[in-house]
Structure 1
């Protein structure tokens, strides 16, 4: 039976490249975004969800299991949200803060919880950035979510009781090592994620790589 990859956050950017790469590697692929897309092959499906609502996560796993008969082997969380604070880190409304935090932290946490509960050997991969250890007042809201997720992902990777599941926070940088927020190379991301998906044991969970 083919392995299954669930790609949470699959717009026209790196999410599609990651999904295509897993599909080319022989995985059944379920991609998810807020925008409908149509695939005609038996081994690929696109689902609709809004990650601002964490309750939208579990039905996605139900749909994957109903289609292919088992839970995902790999879960990639690639969605994110930001509220520009433009040098005033307290300018975002609480409503916008909560919505972004749900997308950046609560929904990915829910996905990891459900993924491991349904498949105790799942590989969980989160698309992060440098904001888990870099402070930028212009993008405070994104930084709050990324740093919070980096913490629980590293904790999950450290917890021996969660093995054989594996958890990773991946931070792509520019070739000079500087932060890379909008110019991510999807091919480099996909190559790394495929390697992590096939890893036999938990590696260093916070992966910084240049591309």
Structure 2
């Protein structure tokens, strides 16, 4: 029996590396897409794909390369993000070009990835896990001055994840916007997010009973899913 496949899009040294290690320990082959990887460094259970998510048309080719090499992924984790920071008193100072690039990475390429993931999920056996996770944060609930482009992207993508969770739940497909918090419910924003904690929570969502975990999956390190009042 072939190993299940997971695909991490935006696989960095923190969440991406920790999640890759955790998934491989569970028997997954893990494909990783990132700007900085060298495809020649790929191994049997570790496929490296170079990408530029500022160009959403590239997403389909990423999935095509994965399918040609290994097959269909049953778990897709979108961990890419982009932000152009602004002065707190001038949030609209970002150029239209930079705003467009960040929106492409944070939202439009996520949309393309969801479409490709759905095609993969539909082709897999009913017994296979089918999960799409987006690495979010609190910006879909509360604006933070200086993080205009990131906030717009997180908010728009949160809407997509919510609608996907409603539309495809009856097919056994899981969609979660994953948001790490402190034990008091306060935000955790890069570079302060915890990679191993995300990996543990992804596994919890994949393998545990998640009937009571909503699309907005806020969690605390060592505690798992934890519901908080809106910020």
Give the corresponding residue for 1:3: 4
1:137 counterpart SS class:
coil
Of residues 92, 111, 114 in structure 2, which corresponds to 1:112? 114
Mark the CA change 1:42 to 1:160 in structure 2 (over 3 Å): closer, same or farther. Answer: closer
1:122, 1:101 → 2: CA distance?
26
Deviations 1:18-74 (A, max 9, x none): 111111211010001001245453111111001101011111111111112x21000
1:210 and 2:212 correspond: no
Q: What is residue 98 of structure 1 aligned with on the other side? A: 100
Query: TM-score of the superposition, structure 1-length normalised?
Result: 0.93
Compared with structure 1, are the counterparts of its residues 5 and 82 closer, same or farther at alpha carbon in structure 2 (3 Å cutoff)? same
**What per-residue deviation string (whole Å, max 9, x for no partner) do you get for residues 119-177 of structure 1?**
23631000000001011121011000001000110011011577222111000012332
1:164–1:201 CA contact under 8 A, matched in 2: no
1:184 aligns with 2:186: no
The answer to whether residue 33 in structure 2 is matched with residue 32 in structure 1 is yes
Structure 2 unmatched runs, 5+: 123-128, 222-231
Q: Which runs of 5+ in 1 are unaligned?
A: none
TM-score (norm 2): 0.85
Is the CA contact 1:86–1:139 (under 8 Å) kept in the aligned structure 2?
A: no
Partners of 2:73 and 2:168 lie apart in 1 by: 21
2:189 is paired with a residue whose SS is coil
Preserved CA contact (<8 Å) 1:10 1:31: yes
Corresponding residue SS for 1:138: coil
Any conservation in 2 of the 1:166–1:201 contact (CA below 8 Å)? Answer: no
Question: What is the total number of aligned residue pairs between the two structures?
Answer: 210
Match of 2:132 among 120, 124, 136: 124
Distance 1:134 1:197 in 2: 28
- Alpha carbons 2:138, 2:187 under 8 Å: kept: yes
